[in-house]
A and B are shown apart, each in its own frame.
Chain A
Amino acid sequence: DQQVKQNSPSLSVQEGRISILNCDYTNSMFDYFLWYKKYPAEGPTFLISISSIKDKNEDGRFTVFLNKSAKHLSLHIVPSQPGDSAVYFCAASGVGSEKLVFGKGTKLTVNP
């Protein structure tokens, strides 16, 4: 049973435009959500996180939105740059737990 789902395996956008990556979850006990960027054969790089007490968090070009009623979160990258091309993973953890449950990832390609 996949508790964290990233339904789009890939996404292609033009440089300078907005990239929107989506993530859905099923476990209502999740209260902390993180986005990671990953290149092949490397460890994931932490991008941004959001706790369940917020519905939006921004850090530079990255904004994460959380809709608890829909059990949905999204990552917005504005403006997108070619260096953003990578696989993006959504992850979630429950109250008081360090265990991260990951989605399968979305491969983002930003075209110059």
Chain B
Amino acid sequence: NAGVMQNPRHLVRRRGQEARLRCSPMKGHSHVYWYRQLPEEGLKFMVYLQKENIIDESGMPKERFSAEFPKEGPSILRIQQVVRGDSAAYFCASSRSGGGTEAFFGQGTRLTVV
């Protein structure tokens, strides 16, 4: 019974490049959430998705960031034209029911922008 799978675990990008982070939810979970964790900061909500729908993107920066959860395949968090301030740990979580309750997290992708 695999948990939430995220890849890659570590990603290095030069400023201006694109970063793609992938997340496969736990089996039977149709709700996916993305969070960002900066050093010495708490986890900050970014976006909540169900299959083919964005439910809540109130935490997403207005520019350069996008997320999708297609009918087939993993959820993708995409960051275009990365800047140094995007360096952080990005966590994906999934839950069986909506609302974020009883959400299980993956091991995260650590993005470093050089």
A and B are partners in one complex rather than unrelated chains: no
Q: Which residues of B are at the interface with A, using a C-beta cutoff of 8 A?
A: none
Q: Which residues of A are at the interface with B, using a C-beta cutoff of 8 A?
A: none
